[in-house]
């Protein structure tokens, strides 16, 4: 370092030359800094000596076979329970035989040995082993999934002859009610590249909910993964766990569904395509949600084959689609409840106003028919509902106009999703003048209002919406949001997401409500009622039938058997019971029934109600 002094030079504005005399401490400081540098470097050097010379052999050994492996601990997925705590889906252990080719050294021959041992050919395994180029090193290849106990025993006892081969226990999702709860619970699938990109905590080949509850509540059900650092020996067997972070199990979901009722409803719809929805009108809790045809979600648990998946997707009866929530159908005569409510509220008729039904009316240049060719004669509102007179409602609709009807329809929940927390709901269509203009560019023609009044034409609804409407009437004119999930609990029972209710009054006068309720009661119980097939012996049922046409202006004279399936009417029946203090509301839809609501749908609803009232409420389930 230079210590010679130089002339002191004027500072001033140009004088940026500073004195060259080092400040007193500088030399000392620089020496200290130099020493610090050497000390730090020496420290690093010592550490290097320790790792590379003193423990070099040990690390060389670990490196040679990468003896320290990472193992991920998959969290146990949350379960689902029904309202009485009966388990609906669980995780059962599945044993997979895996191989780490690097440990096996000659993977092909080890595989051959395995095949001989278990006396089976494993062509898929051979393929996987051959294709192992694109894997991470030391990642296991699955040879056989979900093997039988005997295979398991064979592999375990012959471990020494099968280097690199081991048995891996994994969870497999088991749906205890199979098809019966398929659309509600959903199924699992493998994560997609999009999921991997957008969501945290997933690795390749993890499972993720793909449909239904499994998908909607994935974040709750999944839990979080843990991990282990494991030291293994030369053939890949675990020696010891060096470090572990445990996984957090997923939370359990408690549904409002009553699985006994669900099963009864599913069986009641046997041989048919359609949906059944049962709601408790006091709260909005869904007690049963059935869609047929269905599929077996257990087929997805091990990974579904391409062939099977294609078969499901291409099936013309669309088993994957959830008719209860997604199916949009013209509601037919069950919609008359809305029209009637609108008529009374708006005062266009009184309960005593009589209108004559002769079997048809003329509007413009067309005739609009009543389903009863002979007509109903003079009918008031009560009679019109009981007999499901179309003409009465045609007349009423002209006095109301489509926009008013649409308004009441929306108040009852039609036209938009109910907000049920399942991912795949549709909202149906409630047309009005604005809607027609937006979608067709045409004005609304008054003749179309007549169709709307009886639930035909552009208007469509889902079975859950119809059930919800019925529950609203049963529940005193208060619309309660239907919900499926009662609460979510962690593995140790702490409630993390309690029930969430939502309700809103439809705004009906109590006199209107009473009129409706009395009429609905007589639909089922009076002699002329169209819903007599829904009648129960010891419980009074109230309800409404509906038959919605799929094709306009087809021949009414044709016999049901002669009409092609796609042209057959849908059959509806919506009901609640007991009529004076309702506990349950049910909607049944039978697609392309080949018969009316009263004939086809009502008996199905009756079976469901029978089951409901045969079981007294209890707090825990012990029969499946």
Partner 1 sequence: MKVEPRSPQIDWLFLGFLAAIVAAGISTVHSATWKPGGDGTSAIALRQGLWTTVGVVVMLFVAAVDPRRIERSAYAVYGVVLGLLILVPVVGFIGGGSRRWIDVGFFALQPSELMKIALVLAVARYLQADEPLAGLRFRDLGVPFLLFGAPAVLILVQPDLGTTVLLGLVFASVLLMAGLRLRSVGLAVSVAGFAAFWAGELVWSQLKPYQQRRILTFLDPEADPLGAGYHVIQSKIAVGSGMVWGKGYLEGTQNQLRFLPEQHTDFIFSVFAEEWGVVGCLLLLTLYAGLILRGLQIASRSNDRFGAIVAFGILATIFWQMAINVAMAVGLMPVVGITLPFFSYGGSSMVTLFLGVGLVLNVSVRRFLFLKPGRR
Q: What amino acid positions are annotated as catalytic residues? A: 333
| Residue among 604, 617, 612 nearest 272 (CA) | 604
CA quadruple 473, 478, 483, 487: dihedral sign: negative
Q: Between 35 and 495, whose beta carbon lies closer to partner 1?
A: 35
The residue among 342, 474, 481, 471 whose CA lies nearest residue 399 is: 342
Our CB check for partner 1 shows the closer of 137 and 617 to be: 137
Residues 285, 483 contacting (CB under 8 angstroms): yes
Minimal distance, residue 248 CB to partner 1, in Å? 14
Q: To which residue do tokens 């004195």 refer? A: 19
Alpha helices by DSSP H, listed for 158-217, are 182-185, 193-198, 212-216
Q: How far is the CB of 251 from partner 1 (least distance, A)?
A: 17
Nearer of residues 42 and 311 to partner 1, judged by Cβ: 42
Residue with tokens 């009622």: 529
* CB 35 to partner 1: min, Å: 11
Residue 14 or 352 having the CB closest to partner 1: 14
List the structure tokens of 369.
Answer: 């028919």
By C-beta, is 234 or 245 nearer to partner 1?
Answer: 245
Both tokens of 575, joined, read 């009901």
Sign of CA dihedral 512, 514, 519, 521: positive
Question: CA-CA distance, 107 to 112, in Å (whole number)?
Answer: 9
Query: Which CB sits closer to partner 1, 220 or 483?
Result: 220
Q: Choose between 35 and 566: whose C-beta lies nearer to partner 1.
A: 35
Distance of alpha carbon 401 from alpha carbon 422, whole angstroms = 35
Closest approach of partner 1 to the CB of residue 162, in Å: 23
Q: 518, exposed or middle or buried, with CB in 10 Å at 0-12, 13-18, 19+?
A: middle
Per this entry, what is the length of the chain?
A: 624
Q: Among all chains, which residue has been given the structure tokens 């709860």?
A: 181
Rg (CA), the chain: 36
289: Cβ contacts below 8 Å, ≥ 6 apart: 183, 184, 257, 262, 276, 277, 278, 324, 325, 464, 484
Choice between 55 and 105, CB closer to partner 1: 55
In angstroms, the CA 183 to CA 172 distance is 19
Distance of closest approach, residue 51 Cβ to partner 1, in angstroms: 4
Q: How far is the CB of 1 from partner 1 (least distance, A)?
A: 5
Beta-sheet pairing, 80-81 with 485-489:
unpaired
54 vs 374, beta carbon nearer partner 1 = 54
Q: Catalog residues that contact partner 1 under the rule CB under 8 A.
A: 1-2, 7, 9-10, 12-20, 22-26, 29-30, 33-34, 37-38, 40-41, 43-45, 47-49, 51-53, 55-60, 62-64, 66, 68, 70, 72, 136-137, 200, 225, 227-229, 242-245
Chain centre to alpha carbon of residue 33: 67
Instruction: Round to the nearest angstrom and report the end-to-end CA distance of the chain.
Output: 92
DSSP string, 106-152: SHHHHHHHHHHHHT---HHHHHHHHTGGGSPTT--EEEESS--HHHH
* Helices and strands in the chain, H and E counts: 23, 23
Q: Name the minimum Å distance from CB 9 to partner 1.
A: 6
| Smallest distance, partner 1 to C-beta of residue 201, A | 10
24 vs 561 by CB, closer to partner 1: 24
In order, the DSSP letters of 464-494 are HHHHHHHHHHHTTSEEE--BSEEEEE-TTS-
Question: Minimum distance between the CB of residue 25 and partner 1, rounded to whole angstroms?
Answer: 6
Q: Is it true that the peptide bond before 293 is cis, omega within 30 degrees of 0?
A: yes
CA 451 to chain centre: 34
Nearest-approach distance from CB 224 to partner 1, in angstroms: 11
Prior bond to 290 cis, omega within 30?
A: no
SS3 86: coil
Q: Measured between alpha carbons, how far is 571 from 483 in angstroms, rounded to an integer?
A: 25
């Amino acid at each position: 370092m230079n210590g010679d002094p130089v002339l002191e030079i004027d500072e001033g504005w140009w004088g940026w030359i500073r004195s060259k005399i080092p400040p007193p401490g500088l030399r000392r400081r620089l020496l200290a800094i130099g020493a610090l540098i050497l000390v730090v470097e020496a420290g690093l050097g010592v550490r290097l000596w320790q790792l590379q010379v003193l423990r070099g052999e040990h690390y060389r050994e670990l490196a040679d076979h990468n003896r320290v492996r990472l193992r991920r601990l998959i969290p146990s997925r949350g379960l689902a329970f029904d309202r009485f705590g009966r388990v609906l889906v669980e995780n059962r252990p599945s044993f997979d035989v895996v191989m780490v080719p690097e440990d096996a050294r000659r993977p092909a021959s080890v595989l051959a040995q395995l095949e001989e041992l278990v006396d089976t050919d494993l062509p898929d395994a051979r393929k996987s082993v051959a294709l192992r180029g694109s894997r991470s090193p030391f990642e296991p290849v699955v040879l056989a999934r979900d093997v039988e106990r005997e295979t398991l025993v064979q592999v375990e006892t012959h471990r020494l002859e099968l280097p690199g081969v081991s048995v891996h226990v994994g969870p497999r999702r088991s749906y205890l009610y199979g098809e019966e709860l398929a659309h509600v619970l959903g199924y699992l699938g493998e994560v997609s590249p999009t999921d991997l990109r957008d969501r945290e905590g997933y690795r390749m080949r993890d499972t993720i909910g793909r449909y239904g509850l499994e998908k909607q509540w994935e974040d709750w059900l999944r839990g979080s993964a843990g991990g282990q650092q494991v030291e293994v020996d030369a053939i890949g067997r675990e020696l010891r766990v060096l470090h572990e972070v445990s996984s957090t199990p997923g939370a359990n979901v408690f549904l409002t569904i009553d699985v006994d009722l669900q099963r009864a409803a599913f069986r009641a719809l046997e041989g048919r395509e359609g949906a059944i929805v049962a709601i408790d009108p006091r709260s909005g809790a869904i007690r049963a949600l059935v869609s047929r045809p269905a599929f077996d979600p257990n087929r997805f648990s091990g990974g579904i084959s391409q062939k099977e998946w294609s078969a499901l997707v291409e099936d013309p009866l669309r088993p994957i689609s959830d008719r209860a929530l997604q199916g949009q159908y013209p509601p037919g005569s069950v919609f008359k409840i809305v029209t009637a409510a609108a008529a009374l509220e708006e005062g266009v008729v009184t309960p005593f106003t009589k209108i004559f039904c002769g079997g048809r009316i003329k509007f413009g240049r067309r005739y609009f028919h009543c389903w009863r060719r002979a007509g109903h004669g003079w009918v008031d509102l009560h009679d019109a509902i009981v007999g499901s007179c179309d003409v009465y409602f045609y007349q009423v609709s002209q006095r109301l106009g489509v926009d008013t009807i649409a308004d009441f329809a929306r108040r009852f929940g039609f036209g938009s999703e109910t907000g049920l927390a399942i991912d795949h709901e549709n909202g149906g269509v409630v047309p009005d003048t604005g809607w027609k203009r937006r979608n067709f560019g045409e004005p609304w023609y008054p003749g179309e209002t007549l169709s709307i009044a009886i639930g035909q034409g552009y208007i469509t609804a889902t079975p859950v919406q119809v059930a919800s409407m019925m529950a609203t009437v049963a529940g005193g004119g208060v619309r309660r949001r239907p919900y499926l999930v009662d609460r979510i609990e962690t593995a140790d029972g702490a409630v993390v997401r309690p029930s969430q209710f939502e309700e809103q009054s439809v705004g009906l006068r109590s006199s209107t409500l009473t009129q409706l309720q009395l009429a609905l009661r007589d639909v089922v119980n009076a002699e002329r009622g169209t819903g007599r097939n829904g009648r129960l012996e010891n419980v009074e049922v109230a309800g409404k039938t509906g038959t919605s046409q799929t094709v306009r202006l087809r021949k009414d004279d044709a016999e049901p058997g002669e009409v092609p399936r796609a042209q057959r009417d849908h059959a509806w029946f919506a009901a609640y019971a007991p009529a004076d203090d309702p506990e349950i509301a049910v909607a049944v839809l039978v697609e392309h029934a080949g018969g009316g609501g009263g004939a086809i749908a009502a008996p199905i609803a009756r079976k469901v109600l029978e089951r409901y009232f045969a079981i007294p409420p209890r707090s825990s389930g012990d029969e499946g």
